[in-house]
Structure 1
Amino acid sequence: MTVPRNPAIPPDEVAISLFQAEHQPLLRAILDHSTEGLAVVDAKGRQLYINDVARRILGLGLTDSNPESWSARYGVFYPDTRTPCPSERLPMYRALQGEESPEEDLFVRNASHPEGRHFRAKARPVRDNQGVLLGATLSLRDTHDQRQAEAGQRQTEQRFQLLVESAQEGLWAVDADNRTTYVNRYLVEMLGYTVEEMMDKTLFDFINEEDHVITREYMEERLEGRSAVLKDFRLVRKDGTSIWTLISNTPLHDESGRYIGAMAMVTDITLRREAEEQVRQLNTELERRIAERTAQLEFSNRELEAFAYSVAHDLRAPLRGISTFTLVLLEDYADTLDATGMDYVQRIRASAHRMGELIDCILSLSRVNRIALVETDVNLSELAHSVSDQLQHGQLQRTVHFRIQDGLVDRGDAQLLRLVLENLMGNAWKFTRDRSVAEIEFGARPGEGTGRVYFVRDNGAGFNMDYQQKLFGVFQRLHTQQEFEGHGVGLATVQRVIHRHKGRIWGEGQVGQGATFSFTLHELADAPPASL
């Protein structure tokens, strides 16, 4: 609404006339259409008018309280929401003192606003043409939502800042000219600078000179909008020493898509690099020692094999002499020898014969390592059937039930794997001879990995597990010669063959309850070397 006035009357006189009673309806109409909260008081502080916007902001309308109690009456606090604002510091009160107060941020909390609201207030004194104070006007603006949003943003920024500053990674921001715009605490400690020393410096001030070329290449990728990860990248500390880092950087763009810089995360991997280098050195040293040890073992094995072969052949001559002369004794002097003498000669001949068999076993055992390994697909089931037929044909009078799993095929040397089955199934045949019905089984079960565990099981004499460590030793036997014949090299031979096939072998048994021998093939990366 426009206030009618005489063009000859100055503008100040219009403001003065609004405090006259006849003009107050016009004043209220103007204030009611305002988008701000407005209030008017006279020179004595009596409230003449307050519009609806001001009521909503303050929570209360007109009051007949004196100016000294305004703050308590409306519940006005400073922006910290805890400290009451004295009435004499209120903008309206100060305006009544003739002061042109600046805008003030305040907070009101009362029965209408139990949670409180933020607002901004500004008051100004109104005087007549002679300078006499007529009263004051107050304008209010609701800033609660704005303050809440700003507080939320500040809280988010504080959390982000806390997160960034407490991160155990270096954070580094640069502008489009590669000048530092931000670094966190961890990065400056990593490089030995202060924040002030790093600000505005370019990346090249902190990069090893040898890496400047590759750095420019990464910068070109950043300009094209591509992120990059720089592995094993060297940065230079303030003291001139270099550290190895892993840097992951991402380009930054403004709303129009223009490149404005980059943000990078920097990880110090110096200790990791040193540890990796130590591991490499240890591996190199270990490989050297293993190679030396392997060469020594191979040399020792060759020497032992040569010694065994030589000894075995050299022993044959005296054994032949013993056998020949004892035979002559039996043939030419039988009538002169009494029963005791004949028994002695027979014992000598039996011992010589057994010695010959042991020599053959030693030679056979040493040949296992000398035979070239020729690997093919071997049908172990067919080999087991062949061995079982061979055993049964040797003693047709025995009742033995063979259970052989079909379809067991694996990689290996057919000749050596047959030797394994001949020894294991031969032992099962031997140690079940006292059973009226013998049970011998060959099969496989899933192993811990992707391979199989093969086994030969019987219901024979078994063995005491307390002595299982003696099973695969040369000439080590768990039964006497009188109980079960043998030379004590069969299982040692089997173990050598299995080791040459990168596998393991072990036995389980119980006295009188039978035994099970299990083995794997191609399971171990480094099988133990076979020894004599």
Structure 2
Amino acid sequence: MNHAIRLLHLEDNPLDAELIRLRLQTAGLSCDIRWESGREAFESALAQETFDLVLADYKLPGYDGLSALRHVREKQPELPVIMLSGGLSEEEAVDCLKAGATDYVLKQRPQRLDTAVRRALVEKEEHAALRRAEEEIRRQSLFLRQVIDLNPNFIFAKDRAGRFVLVNQAMAEAYGSSVEEMLGKAEADVTADAQEVARFLKADLETMDTLRDVFIPEEKLIDAAGKERWLQTVKRPIVAADGRADRVLGVAVDITERKRAKDEIMRLNADLEERVRQRTAQLEAANKELEAFSYSVSHDLRSPLNAIDGFSQLLVRLDGEKLSDKGRHYLDRIRAGTRQMGELIEGLLSLAQLSHDQLRSEVVDLSAISRQVEQAFREREPERQVQTHIQDGLLTHGDPLLLSVAMNNLLGNAWKFTAKQAMARIDVGSELGADGSPLYFVRDNGAGFDMAHAEKLFGPFERLHSQSDFSGTGVGLATVKRIIGRHGGRIWAEGKVNEGATFYFTFGRKVESGDGDGRGDSNGG
């Protein structure tokens, strides 16, 4: 030891006390010895100071060493005490050891004293270390117990007989018991359902025998309150040093609310599927009615219109010379009205047809379609001066027929509203949208429109210009919007009066990029 040994010595003979001091000094032990000869001084010193060891004479007048030993054990149970005596019988030595003496030394054999002192001090240190280790183990056990008990999940361990060797508070409460009551009990003692007990034991043994985890996604438990609870459990083997498992650790999560939510979602999905089925049947019925209506419109309205137009032509041919100029003008107005009515009927039928036709999906070249449409317009109106710019490689996925209708309407709109421009210009191209996907456009420098009325552009039969200024039915842009919508995209327009308009549109499906990004120009003369 690095410090002097603090030693309390109870001895009535000063000569014996000095001999003890010299003996310890000769043995190389550095001792700070307090010598007391009576009871009162001895007990006072023990209460006021700290000592490493007590030496006590077994026989003292009025205060024997055995009484001193008992007092030390009462006040400081861990303090080593070595009994000294000039003559100690075997029976007295046993009494001393039973009373808690660390050792005893006969005064006529002082050579044992230094060995006894060293051994007593070593044992004291070992006992102190053991107490510290036990306290740390106790503290860690308490900590782990709290961690286990504070966990809301069920935590348990069982042996091969199905007896609980570990249970946490949450599980004990679910079984209407306490942790102490459940320990040592078998599954059958706490679970009334024999089938459940057999199933639990089977999973336990499988885990221990295979040394593999067992996952149980759902298992039902009726708790102490009679409440149905659903658990999701993982069982793992506890492997001993010999490589075998004789215990199983289980952790069960209460998934009752999750299961209820899942069951509710499944019920709602089933209800939704039934509603969808009913709605689909209603839509199918509505589509059949629409088809019947379309047939009626096509047959019942076209026939009288054709009759009006035909008889108007006959009237001009047979009695044209008898008609006044005003009469001819009226007949021309009648024929123009029938033609416009026919166009409206065609537009209405086309718009209705778009709602239920099967949509195909393939690569569509919007650049090629635009050039075909442009060529058709030039052949129809060769006198028009229109400069067009159609970007190459405008590829997308969609229905080729419907997208041809859409581009025909968009370019036809641009062609029509640039009719009063000395040098008309139409651009077809694409640019990157805010989300990085292609944003297609058709732009012209024609009549334009007031943005305050932009929401009316795509409504059926909505017109922002008079029939006398620009002819049309007001169905074309509504048709385009429906086609773009069926392709998962959207369309909108920007414009200014007399400064042109730009129609932007996107597609919801994946867009293929073209081989090149140049622009092909064709100038009309």
Instruction: Give the TM-score normalised by structure 1.
Output: 0.73
CA–CA separation in structure 2 for the residues paired with 1:96 and 1:379: 113
Compare relative contact order (CA 8 Å, sep 6+) and give the higher one, 1 or 2: 2
8 Å CA contact 1:505–1:518 kept in 2: the answer is yes
Asked whether the equivalents of residues 158 and 166 of structure 2 are also in contact (C-alpha less than 8 Å), the reply is: yes
2:507 aligned partner: 520
Following superposition of structure 1 onto structure 2, how do residues 136-215 of structure 1 map, counting pairs within 5 Å? Answer: 139-140=120-121, 141-142=124-125, 145-203=129-187, 205-206=190-191, 212-213=198-199
Percent pairwise identity: 30
Amino acid at match of 1:100: R
Q: Distance in 1 between matches of 2:335 and 2:137?
A: 106
Match for residue 43 of structure 1?
A: 37
Where 1:277 maps in the other structure, the secondary structure is helix
Q: Describe the shift of the 1:446–1:173 C-alpha distance in structure 2 as closer, same or farther (beyond 3 A).
A: farther
Choose the corresponding residue for 2:385, options 381, 398, 402: 398
In the other structure, the counterpart of 2:262 is 276
Q: Which residue of 1 aligns with 2:373?
A: 387
Deviations 1:264-293 (A, max 9, x none): 111111121111111111101111111111
**How far off is 1:256 after superposition?**
3.0
1:505 to 490, 513, 523: 490
Match of 1:68 in 2: 44
- TM-align CA RMSD: 4.0
Q: Identify if the C-alpha distance between structure 1 residues 510 and 153 changes in structure 2 by more than 3 Å, giving closer, same or farther.
A: farther
1:226-241 equivalent positions in 2, closer than 5 A: 226-239=212-225, 241=227
Give matches, 1:379-458, under 5 Å: 379-396=365-382, 397-406=384-393, 408-410=395-397, 412-435=398-421, 436-443=423-430, 445=432, 448=435, 452-458=438-444
* Cα distance in 1 between the residues matched to 2:378 and 2:316: 36
Give the C-alpha shift of residue 145 in structure 1: 5.0
Q: Identify if the C-alpha distance between structure 1 residues 349 and 243 changes in structure 2 by more than 3 Å, giving closer, same or farther.
A: same
Aligned ranges 1:212-361 → 2 under 5 Å: 212-213=198-199, 216-217=202-203, 219-239=205-225, 241-334=227-320, 337-361=323-347
Aligned 8 A contact 2:36 2:42 in 1? no
Matched with 1:55 is: none
Which runs of no fewer than 5 residues in structure 1 stay unpaired? 1-15, 47-64, 77-92, 107-118, 524-532
1:25 is matched by which residue type in structure 2? L
Counterpart residue number, 2:81: 123
SS in 2 for 1:443: strand
* Deviation at residue 481 of structure 1 after TM alignment: 1.9
| Contact preservation (8 Å) 1:425, 1:440 | no
Instruction: Name the CA shift for 1:439/1:71 in 2 (closer, same or farther; >3 Å).
Output: farther
For the Cα contact (< 8 Å) 1:400–1:439, is it kept in 2? yes
Contact 2:365/2:394 (8 A) holds in 1? yes
Q: Which residue of 1 aligns with 2:518?
A: none
Alignment match, 2:59: none
Q: SS of 2:79's equivalent?
A: strand
* Aligned equivalents of 1:250, 1:349: Cα separation in 2: 90
State the aligned residue count.
Answer: 455
Using the alignment, how far apart are the partners of 1:130 and 1:255 within structure 2?
A: 50
* Letter paired with 2:81: A
Give 1 or 2: higher helix fraction: 2
Give 3-state SS (helix, strand or coil) of 2:260's partner: helix
Per-residue deviation, residues 113-155 of structure 1 (Å, max 9, x unmatched): xxxxxx9313255454499xx9999855235555544444433
Q: Which runs of 5+ in 2 are unaligned?
A: 1-12, 53-62, 90-105, 108-112, 511-525
Change (3 A) 1:345 1:149: same
Closer, same or farther: CA 191–441 of 1 in aligned 2, 3 Å: farther
SS in 2 for 1:19: helix
Q: Return closer, same or farther for 1:21/1:221 CA change in 2, 3 Å cut-off.
A: closer
8 Å Cα contact 1:464/1:510 also seen in 2: yes
Distance, in Å, in 2 between the alignment partners of 1:190 and 1:389 is 82
* C-alpha distance in structure 1 between counterparts of 2:493 and 2:33, whole Å: 102
Contact 1:94 1:100 in 2 (8 A): no
Which residue is 2:7 aligned to? none
What's the CA shift for 1:490? Answer: 1.4
Cα displacement string for residues 455-490 of structure 1 (whole angstroms, at most 9, x for unaligned residues):
434444444444444333322223322332221221
Using the TM superposition, give the Cα deviation of residue 419 of structure 1 relative to its aligned residue in structure 2, in angstroms: 1.3
Residues 492/309 of structure 1: CA separation in 2 closer, same or farther (3 Å cut):
farther
Please, what TM-score do these two structures have when normalized by structure 2?
0.74
Counterpart CA distance in 2 for 1:378 and 1:343 is 46
Structure 2 equivalent of residue 54 of structure 1: none
